[in-house]
Amino acid sequence: MSRYRLIIATALIVIVIPITILYGIYFLNDRKYYFISMLIITFTLVPFLLVFEKRAPQARELIVIAVLSAIAVAGRAAFFMLPQFKPVVAIVIIAGVSLGAEAGFLVGVLTGFVSNFFFGQGPWTPWQMFCFGIIGFIAGLLFKKGKLNRTKLSLCVYGGLATFFIYGGIINIGSLMMFTAEFSFEALVATYISAIGFDLIHAVATVFFLYILSQTMLEKLDRIKVKYGLIEREKYS
């Protein structure tokens, strides 16, 4: 990933998108979540499209992103009867490792938005979109920097920790801000404590699905990229 793309992507993901979510809470009374969700998707597309720099992305390249998002949506729907036990984070991590940080964030954002047409849209949607996306983005960055490899152990350790601390850490702040007007440290601590069980189940689910899916999916994605010349890793250098 070139330096200017990294700066733009990081600024949009770490600064602009969180500000957009907070704007929806404090200035739109947390009711315009469709509008905020669409803004997040728009901001997400900017760093992703910069990957292609001097040429337009081919349809088949975008299809890979769409298919991974569809798999994640279907996986979330398939396990609807098991609260928090979902394969979404695992698939987002696989996307980030295989296709790059921007693609990982895009898969996470799209999955959060589309799947909530089945699970219910609400002010929690932008928070979930961001949480899913940021885990995929970080996975892609860590893999590119050599801090994360493609082994089951490495992916499972990252997936478990990221789900518990990043997803849980952020979504619990969102939960508190959605359901109370008085934000306090004591209330935040109580929210974290009450959510430990849910966060642990979610983390275990991510580890489980990474263990059974990661190697097969990564191999299939590698074959697709080689066969059709899709989104090669060199583009992220």
State residue 221 phi and psi, 5-degree precision.
-65, -35
CB 227 within 8 A of CB 103: no
CB 154 within 8 A of CB 148: yes
Contacts of 86 (CB under 8 A, 6+ apart): 75, 76, 79, 202, 205
Tokens of 69: 């998002």
Tens-level pLDDT at each residue, the chain (237 residues): 467 777 888 888 889 999 999 888 888 877 788 899 999 998 888 876 766 555 555 667 788 999 999 999 999 999 989 888 999 999 999 999 999 888 899 999 999 999 999 988 988 999 999 999 999 999 999 999 999 999 999 999 999 999 999 999 999 998 888 877 667 888 889 999 999 999 999 999 999 999 999 999 999 999 988 887 765 444 443
- Single out the residue of 161, 159, 177, 231 nearest to residue 18, CA to CA: 177
Tokens of 178: 């959605």
- Sign for the pseudo-dihedral over CA of 57, 60, 66, 71: negative
pTM for the predicted model, two decimal places: 0.88
Taking the C-alpha atoms of residue 151 and residue 101, their distance in angstroms, rounded to an integer, is 18
Contacts of 209 (CB under 8 A, 6+ apart): 75, 87, 90, 91
